[in-house]
């Protein structure tokens, strides 16, 4: 019952947030100079005044702002995200076509960063002055400070050009003929480098945080008690301390989820990963308002779901959270 | 004399190429998949309603034009096996291939040609291509006669490459309107050597050979996969590790030089004459110091072209001195090259009434839009102009639409720009200089340039069917704009084709690069 109430409140806020995201962004895009007629002209290499006026009339861009906003919101409330000016197809179709690729990339990267980050953090927390600890610190700082598009190109040069282990771009080899497993491994092979590039930033964050909280937890009374009781050190660390050290990391991971989505924009561009990130970037450049808003809608949705999942994950690892709304 | 020598050299070079080609001549082999790249997702696959090089690469494979062009800018038969321009220049007759069919097996008829002209005239952004066409007669199924309001020599180029896609009336004439027709992007029924298999926006366009293609034995390739890879470094690496075999329109000097040294790959900048891209410095002639022709000329003298060609373009670009692409037979190289001369520039600025005070004459802004290659050229120009006391402030513009807005409304002093000729000057050159086209959006006459003689010359040349006379008119036009500098021409955009050595007959012959059919491309084992 309690759970349902929490869920209902969250959903209400989520819907309000989504509407706010749409209205705010519609206004923002409207304020940006230039419109989709300009970018269609760019894609055609010409801008005939008559053609441009025709494009604006076709898409209602010659209407006053408030009329455009009203008709857009009206459609959204009827679950219609509109029609992409630039790609000439329904925005929902366009996004659903790209969403799986982004979800695959983002979730794999996030989970990988979380697991490896925590493991690295715990290892270095156990011996804060060991070689391994310095390595983790160095690696974390490097990952955090290197721009992800640069890491991406570096990875490409190393593992696609010099040692040809992984493909350069895209999500699959379209010339491949084979069964499910052949395609599965093909996608997995394409996934490796983008995931490594994307997780590198977050790996750094998580490992630093896991290290810090783990060190703190290891110094706390109940850990000392557990040790005094004669439990093996391994058990103390992984069974008692880790659970407590984990909740800040999970909280951070939840908060960072939106950052992972925006990091995906760059990674997708470098690796030609056919996801929402590249679509978002191109649509903003193209002033393709319905597509941008559609993507923001879905990203907001993704972040909200990510945050909900974080909440439930916290409840799972930390019994103290369970009583709270 | 200069031209004669140049011609002679070219003829010798051509003979040499033919000789080597002859020695290495191999029987073309059918089959195989060519993996090419697109730099972005095509908005529409149907080139009758959308121009641009991304649509061109796929559009020109799926849709045939009446003509194609060879290296020497001579029209060659394609969907039209022959053609004829009437004596008075007021009609052009096309005799179509008799056994040509669309991808659904329906015959390609003269009525489809008439329909295509109508669609292109109404929906293609290059209005000047078919504007003089008043009607199309179809005396029989395989003869189409285009009637013209006045002689229109640009029509020949407008009937080639991606510019005149012959589209089926029975599909696109069904009342849904060709511009947003659902079959522009899926279940496309074309007239070209390849047909659409699959188009996944953001990923690829896959095409396969059309077995019913009218020319026996063609195309050689079984499939063309055009992969969409927006990042130029990723494209270069994909070429080097063999994932793709062909990349066109690659214009980043560092990447060009890197691929040049790569094993198993070839590089060429031939075959872009029709596209005709030129990088230039646009100057707003309607405001501030730039109103004065002497100031604009001084700017031209203060910029060291040699430095740009060697240090910025790293030897990858051809020089351009006028608004006509240097590969065009209409190009006039015999104009002022504005060799670096700071004394002359200073004297001209003094004379124009902008004396040097504390090392500075006046302030001016220059827009910088984030296009590849624009930043180094813009920064160099700022440096160069500071030497003659012109203080340039670079204004970074975030993206294309913002910049297009500034340019289209003439709210700028100076900016780098790249404009394409698109074959005939009537299509891609006139728009920049005609008084009637001032500030009609981006890539119009955004310089606000107006010269009655230029307008007159361009109008006469547009209707002059005699090539030599036409060339003379354009030569005078080029002299005037070179002299009055509404634009300082930097270089021909160094577009290059990268291809694996396995690729035979790569799209480097002709003038349209991959905006023309790849029916004769084949793969060596």
A129-140 pLDDT tens trace: 888 888 888 877
Residues A203 and A105: their CA atoms lie apart, in Å, by 15
Chain B residues within an 8 Å CB radius of A92: none
User: Does the pTM exceed 0.80?
Assistant: yes
Mean pLDDT on B2-8: 44
pLDDT exceeds 70 at position B22:
no
Contacts of A177 (CB under 8 A, 6+ apart): none
pLDDT band with cut points at 50, 70 and 90 for residue B5? very low
pLDDT exceeds 60 at position B307:
yes
Looking at residue B395, its pLDDT comes to: 94
Contacts of B302 (CB under 8 A, 6+ apart): B340, B342, B345, B384, B385, B387, B388, B390
B473-521 pLDDT tens trace: 999 999 999 999 999 999 999 999 999 999 999 999 999 999 999 999 9
Looking at residue A210, its pLDDT comes to: 86
pLDDT band with cut points at 50, 70 and 90 for residue B10? very low
Please report the residues numbered 93 through 122 in chain A whose beta carbons come closer than 8 angstroms to any beta carbon of chain B.
Answer: 94, 97-98
Mean pLDDT on A9-31: 85
**Sign of the four-CA dihedral B377, B381, B382, B387:** positive
Contacts of B341 (CB under 8 A, 6+ apart): B301
Facing B400 at nearest CB: one of A42, A58, A170: A42
Looking at residue A284, its pLDDT comes to: 83
> Quick one: which of B208, B63, B199 has its CA closest to B124?
B63
Chain B residues within an 8 Å CB radius of A169: 227, 229, 231, 234-235, 238, 243
Please report the residues numbered 374 through 403 in chain B whose beta carbons come closer than 8 angstroms to any beta carbon of chain A.
Answer: 399-403
**Sign of the four-CA dihedral B272, B157, A55, B201:** negative
Looking at residue A323, its pLDDT comes to: 57
pLDDT exceeds 60 at position B2:
no
pLDDT exceeds 70 at position A43:
yes
Structure tokens at A175: 């010339």
pLDDT band with cut points at 50, 70 and 90 for residue A223? confident
b/e per residue B250-280 (b: at least 16 CB within 10 A): bbbbebbebbeeeeebebebbbbbbbbbbbb
Looking at residue B19, its pLDDT comes to: 43
> Quick one: which of A109, A182, A114 has its CA closest to A152?
A109
Tell me the three state secondary structure of residue B224: strand
> Quick one: which of B211, B228, B474, B192 has its CA closest to B333?
B474
A154-188 pLDDT tens trace: 888 888 888 888 888 888 887 777 788 888 888 88
Looking at residue B207, its pLDDT comes to: 97
Mean pLDDT on A234-253: 78
- Between A58-62, B208-212, B367-371, the lowest mean confidence (pLDDT) is in A58-62
Q: Is B414 exposed, middle or buried (0-12, 13-18, 19+ CB in 10 A)?
A: buried
Whether B236 contacts chain A with CB within 8 A: no
Looking at residue A322, its pLDDT comes to: 63
Contacts of B367 (CB under 8 A, 6+ apart): B395, B397, B403, B406, B407, B412, B414, B415, B416
pLDDT exceeds 80 at position B84:
yes
Most confident of A120-124, A266-270, B519-523: B519-523
Residue to mutate among A171, A272, A285, A288, with most B CBs inside 10 A, is: A272
pLDDT band with cut points at 50, 70 and 90 for residue B196? very high
Looking at residue B25, its pLDDT comes to: 63
Place of tokens 């981006």: B442
pLDDT exceeds 50 at position B17:
no
Does a cis peptide bond (omega within 30 degrees of 0) precede residue A299? Answer: no
Most confident of A34-43, A235-244, B410-419: B410-419
Looking at residue B23, its pLDDT comes to: 45
Q: Judge whether B469 and B485 are in contact, CB under 8 Å.
A: no
pLDDT exceeds 70 at position B269:
yes
Percent of chain B scoring above 70 in pLDDT: 95
State whether ipTM is beyond 0.90. no
DSSP A142-166: HHHHS-HHHHHHHHHIIIIIIS--S
């Amino acid at each position: 019952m309690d759970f349902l109430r929490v869920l209902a409140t969250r959903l209400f806020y989520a819907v309000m947030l989504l509407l706010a995201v749409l209205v705010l962004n519609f206004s923002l895009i409207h304020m940006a100079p230039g419109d989709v007629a300009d970018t269609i002209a760019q894609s055609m290499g010409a801008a005939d005044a008559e053609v441009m006026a025709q494009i604006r009339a076709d898409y209602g861009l010659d209407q006053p702002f408030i009329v455009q906003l009203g008709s857009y919101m009206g459609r959204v409330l009827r679950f219609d995200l509109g029609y992409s000016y630039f790609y000439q197809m329904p925005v929902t179709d366009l996004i659903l076509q790209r969403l799986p690729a982004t979800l695959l990339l983002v979730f794999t990267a996030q989970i990988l960063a979380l697991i490896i980050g925590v493991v690295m953090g715990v290892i270095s927390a156990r011996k804060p002055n060991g070689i391994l600890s310095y390595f983790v610190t160095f690696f974390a700082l490097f990952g955090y400070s290197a721009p992800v598009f640069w890491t991406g190109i570096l990875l490409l040069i190393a593992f696609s050009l010099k040692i040809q282990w992984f493909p350069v771009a895209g999500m699959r080899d379209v010339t491949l003929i084979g069964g499910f497993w052949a395609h599965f491994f093909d996608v997995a092979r394409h996934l490796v480098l983008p995931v490594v590039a994307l997780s590198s930033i977050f790996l750094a964050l998580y490992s630093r945080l896991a290290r810090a909280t783990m060190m703190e937890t290891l110094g706390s009374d109940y850990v000392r008690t557990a040790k005094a009781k004669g439990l093996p050190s391994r058990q103390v660390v992984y069974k008692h301390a880790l659970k407590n050290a984990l909740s800040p990391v999970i909280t951070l991971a939840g908060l960072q989820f939106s950052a992972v989505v925006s990091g995906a924009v760059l990674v997708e561009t470098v690796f030609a990963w056919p996801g929402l990130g590249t679509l978002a970037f191109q649509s903003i450049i193209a002033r393709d308002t319905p597509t941008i808003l559609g993507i923001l809608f879905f990203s907001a949705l993704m972040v909200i779901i990510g945050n909900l999942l974080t909440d439930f994950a916290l409840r799972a690892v930390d019994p103290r959270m369970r009583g709270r709304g | 004399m200069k031209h004669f020598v140049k011609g002679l050299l070219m003829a010798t070079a051509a003979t040499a190429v033919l000789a080597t080609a002859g020695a290495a001549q191999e029987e073309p082999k059918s089959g195989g998949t060519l993996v090419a790249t697109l730099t972005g997702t095509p908005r529409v696959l149907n080139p009758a309603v959308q121009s641009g090089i991304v649509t061109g690469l796929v559009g020109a494979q799926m849709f045939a034009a009446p003509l194609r062009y060879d290296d020497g800018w001579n029209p060659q038969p394609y969907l039209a096996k022959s053609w004829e321009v009437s004596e008075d220049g007021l009609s052009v007759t096309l005799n179509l291939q008799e056994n040509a069919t669309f991808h659904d097996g329906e015959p390609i008829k003269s009525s489809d040609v008439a329909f295509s002209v109508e669609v292109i005239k109404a929906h293609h952004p290059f209005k000047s291509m078919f504007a003089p066409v008043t009607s199309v007669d179809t005396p029989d199924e395989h003869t189409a006669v285009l009637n013209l309001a006045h002689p229109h020599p640009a029509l020949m180029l407008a009937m080639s490459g991606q510019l005149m896609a012959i589209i089926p009336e029975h599909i696109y004439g069904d009342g849904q309107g060709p511009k947003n027709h659902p079959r522009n992007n899926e279940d496309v029924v074309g007239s070209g050597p390849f047909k659409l298999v699959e188009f996944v926006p953001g990923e690829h366009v896959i095409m396969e050979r059309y077995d019913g293609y009218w020319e026996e034995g063609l195309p050689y390739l079984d499939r063309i996969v055009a992969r969409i890879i927006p990042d130029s470094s990723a494209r270069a690496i994909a070429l080097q590790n063999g994932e793709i075999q062909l990349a066109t329109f690659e214009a980043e000097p560092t990447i060009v030089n890197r691929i040049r040294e790569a094993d198993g790959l070839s590089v060429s900048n031939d075959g872009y004459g029709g596209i005709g891209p030129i990088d230039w410095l646009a100057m707003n002639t309607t405001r501030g110091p730039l109103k004065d022709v002497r100031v604009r000329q001084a700017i031209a003298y203060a910029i060291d072209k040699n430095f740009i060609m060697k240090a910025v373009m790293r030897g990858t670009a051809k020089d351009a001195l006028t608004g006509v692409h240097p590969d065009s037979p209409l190009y006039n190289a015999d104009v002022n090259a504005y060799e670096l001369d700071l004394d002359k520039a200073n004297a001209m600025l003094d004379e124009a009434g902008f004396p040097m005070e504390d090392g500075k004459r006046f302030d001016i802004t220059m827009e910088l839009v984030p296009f590849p290659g624009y930043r180094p050229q813009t920064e160099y120009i700022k440096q160069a102009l500071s030497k003659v006391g012109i203080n340039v402030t670079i204004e970074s513009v975030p993206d294309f639409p913002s910049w297009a807005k500034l340019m289209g409304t003439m709210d700028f002093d100076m900016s780098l720009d790249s404009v394409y000729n698109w074959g005939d000057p009537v299509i891609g050159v006139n728009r920049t200089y005609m008084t009637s086209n001032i500030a009609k959006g981006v890539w119009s006459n955004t310089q606000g340039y107006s010269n009655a003689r230029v307008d007159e010359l361009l109008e006469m040349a547009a209707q002059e069917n005699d090539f030599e006379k036409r060339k003379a008119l354009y030569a005078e036009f080029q002299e005037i704009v070179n002299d009055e500098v509404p634009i300082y021409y930097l270089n021909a955009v160094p577009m290059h084709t990268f291809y694996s050595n396995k690729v035979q007959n790569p799209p480097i012959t002709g003038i349209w690069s991959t905006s023309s059919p790849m029916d004769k491309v084949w793969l060596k084992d």
